[in-house]
């Protein structure tokens, strides 16, 4: 059950076997059925998750409308950092789009893991930095890129999203309506006529 996370750690920071063994001690597997929640808005985010299998949508509700802020697929870490570290109620929801297996770690277990293994502390810092960079790039893209550019970037960076995730969630993540996304896809996929 933990082999995917161990492989990820080996590839990311060349973690040795004695550190990898700590994964079985501190991470707990959670099976989520499609549409089940790992956490909901108003709760304190209880864990950092590593997605071993499945797909998880992260969203919040504003004025009665769901806004998708991210989608996690296999071999990705995810959490609500502010809620998890500061013990504040989260505004986000984390819901399975497919039957999913998440390896979870609580804050007390994470602190113990960091004390036992400086390599895990380095990995945690690296994942937090990547998350911050991704959030910054997404915010910049939403304010400066055209919808078609955002679509093409997402398609290039994560093509499997388009095979596994409903279009309405992808559109929400791109900051556009599903109808706009359909028009963009049609425009890009329709071969252009060559004038002679």
Burial class (CB in 10 A: 0-12, 13-18, 19+), 173: buried
Residues 93-151: tens digit of each pLDDT: 999 999 999 999 999 999 999 999 999 999 999 999 999 898 898 889 888 999 999 99
pTM, two decimal places: 0.89
**CATH domain 2-117 topology:** Jelly Rolls (2.60.120)
Q: In the chain, how long is the greatest CA-to-CA distance?
A: 70
CB distance 79 to 48 below 8 Å: yes
Residues 3-50: tens digit of each pLDDT: 999 999 999 999 999 999 999 999 999 999 999 999 999 999 999 999
């Amino acid at each position: 059950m933990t082999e995917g996370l161990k492989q990820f750690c080996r590839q990311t920071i060349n973690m040795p076997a004695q550190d990898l063994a700590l994964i079985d001690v501190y991470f707990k597997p959670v099976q989520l059925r499609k549409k089940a929640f790992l956490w909901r808005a108003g709760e304190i985010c209880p864990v950092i998750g590593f997605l071993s299998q499945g797909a998880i949508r992260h969203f919040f509700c504003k004025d009665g409308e769901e806004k998708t802020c991210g989608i996690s697929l296999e071999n990705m870490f995810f959490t609500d950092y502010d809620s998890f570290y500061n013990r504040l109620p989260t505004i986000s929801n984390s819901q399975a789009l497919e039957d999913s297996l998440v390896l979870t770690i609580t804050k007390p277990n994470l602190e113990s893991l960091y004390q036992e293994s400086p390599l895990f502390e380095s990995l945690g810092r690296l994942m937090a930095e990547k998350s911050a960079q991704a959030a910054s790039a997404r915010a910049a893209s939403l304010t400066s890129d055209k919808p078609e550019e955002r679509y093409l970037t997402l398609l290039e960076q994560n093509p499997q999203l388009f095979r596994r995730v409903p279009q309405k969630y992808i559109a929400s993540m791109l900051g556009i309506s599903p109808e706009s996304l359909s028009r963009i896809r049609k425009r890009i996929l329709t071969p252009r006529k060559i004038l002679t």
